[in-house]
Structure 1
Amino acid sequence: MAIVKVGLLTIGQSPREDVVPEMKPFFLPQIQVLEKGLLDDLSPEEIRRLKPKTGEIPLVTRLRKGSSVQLSEKKISSLLPEAINSMKTKMKVKMVGVLCTNDFQKTEFPPWSIFPFNSLKFLITRIIDIKRLGVVVPLEGQIDAAKKKWKKDKIIVEVKSPYARGKSWEEIAQNFSPKKVEIVILDCMGYKIKDKRALQKLLSVPVLLPRIVLAFAIDQHL
């Protein structure tokens, strides 16, 4: 069986020891994972320049030593195409999976790049017929963007960062339950399998975890 190189590109710093090990069991056996981070070669000052300004959509990601950082969606969008092409040419990967759930559709990307948002959107618009969608995002500043990008009849958004202390999953479930959400999206690559299981047990509805969805999407593109 021939080895197939697949790149995983984080908008933070690699390696993503909090994400990739949970994805690997879902990959086909011939896949060899190579990681790269958008911030790998940047100094602390250069990273600070990527922080969102007032009015810009914030993204949040993890740095190599475990801390988190907020970044400007607009600035990250402009950096991604070159990073994806670089992985293709320098690492000789067949495709690149981007470890971010943001909707980057306003930017043009090469056909060998795979974004979890596209797969998640396909699931909830073409496969799963629902009207009440629950979404969990890491930041208060992402609530409006989440409502716009998922576009369902009824969207209930809760905030819980995978990188910092905040509400418990019990509190999140208590807010979702009265609104009768039919499915929940954990809208960040930082959420873990244990988070999915905890919320799913409390709500008894499907909970979509982007890291698993992305792993299956990569398998299907081989």
Structure 2
Amino acid sequence: MSRISRIAFVTIGQTPRSDIVPEMMAEIAAGLEVRPSYEEFGVLDGLEGADLDAFRARDGEHSFATRLASGEEIVSSKARTEERLNELLAEIDGKGFDIVVLLCTGTRIDPLQNTLVVEAQRIVDSTVEALAASCRNLGVILPLERQVAEFGQRHVFAGNPTVVSASPYSGAGMAAGAKGVAACDLVVMHCMGYTAAMLDEIRQAVDAPVLLSRRVVAGVVRQMI
């Protein structure tokens, strides 16, 4: 029997994250006789109109790019999103899950009392830091142009990474983003919204290893099953 039988996937947007969770579960559960069950929870679930608008990022605020249930992209305030995220995680902590998987590579959270948490940001950043120690030019692809200037304040990598933007939700910009990191010798697609298909698109233009955040995180979860 699997040691991890119940997973809570938590997004900073709205559920269901049909663009992330099925792909991750296929990698997590590949070859297993007993698949873990899972539920999804979203910071913005059930919000619309003015309540949803209250989470949108204002000028000068650090921001997240995430997805609504409709598939629409929303740029949310990092501060207000993380405040509600911690409240949501505290609620989930009492529901008997074996593990919580955060579907964002930019969040900072409070420790939970009862449940192991897979923090995507720490896993991705630690992996990149280890691999990039001897890297001549690290490339980082982010969802939003406004996040390019913020990156150095939120993530610390050695050297001077080449940081470009390409939204996983708008359906455009991936080719341009690939051109921006074409000269790098290691590239990370630093958002859980980037898909395996987008990874293939980047790899066609970049002659270097490319890390897909959701695949890095799924690999860690699989080791725990």
**2:157 counterpart of 1:151:** yes
Whether the 8 Å contact between 1:158 and 1:172 is mirrored in structure 2 is: yes
What is residue 200 of structure 1 aligned with on the other side?
A: 203
Give distance in 2, aligned partners of 1:112 and 1:76: 21
Whether the 8 Å contact between 2:129 and 2:157 is mirrored in structure 1 is: no
Whether the 8 Å contact between 2:14 and 2:42 is mirrored in structure 1 is: yes
Give distance in 2, aligned partners of 1:198 and 1:166: 12
What is residue 17 of structure 1 aligned with on the other side?
A: 18
Structure 1 residue 113 displacement after superposition:
1.7
Give distance in 2, aligned partners of 1:127 and 1:187: 14
Whether the 8 Å contact between 2:189 and 2:210 is mirrored in structure 1 is: yes
Unmatched runs of 5 consecutive residues or more in structure 1: none
Q: Secondary structure, in 3 states, of the residue corresponding to 1:35?
A: strand
Structure 1 residue 200 displacement after superposition:
1.4
Alpha-carbon distance change, 124 to 14 in structure 1, aligned in 2, over 3 angstroms: same
**2:68 counterpart of 1:67:** no
Q: Secondary structure, in 3 states, of the residue corresponding to 2:149?
A: helix
Structure 1 residue 27 displacement after superposition:
1.0
What is residue 115 of structure 1 aligned with on the other side?
A: 119
Unmatched runs of 5 consecutive residues or more in structure 2: none
Give distance in 1, aligned partners of 2:36 and 2:218: 11
Whether the 8 Å contact between 2:128 and 2:188 is mirrored in structure 1 is: no
**2:163 counterpart of 1:162:** no
TM-score by length of structure 1 reads 0.89
Give distance in 2, aligned partners of 1:43 and 1:165: 23
What is residue 94 of structure 2 aligned with on the other side?
A: 89
Instruction: State the one-letter code of the partner of 2:11.
Output: T
- Identity, in percent, stands at 26
Structure 1 residue 127 displacement after superposition:
4.2
Q: 1:41 aligns with which of 25, 46, 66?
A: 46
Give distance in 2, aligned partners of 1:150 and 1:79: 25
Q: 2:145 aligns with which of 111, 125, 140?
A: 140
Provide the alpha-carbon RMSD of the alignment.
Answer: 1.9
TM-score by length of structure 2 reads 0.88
**Runs of 4+ in structure 1 over 6 Å off:** none
Give distance in 2, aligned partners of 1:168 and 1:118: 25
Whether the 8 Å contact between 1:81 and 1:109 is mirrored in structure 2 is: no
Whether the 8 Å contact between 2:132 and 2:158 is mirrored in structure 1 is: no
Q: Secondary structure, in 3 states, of the residue corresponding to 2:169?
A: coil
Instruction: State the one-letter code of the partner of 1:167.
Output: G
Give distance in 1, aligned partners of 2:174 and 2:84: 34
Instruction: State the one-letter code of the partner of 1:76.
Output: T
Structure 1 residue 139 displacement after superposition:
0.9
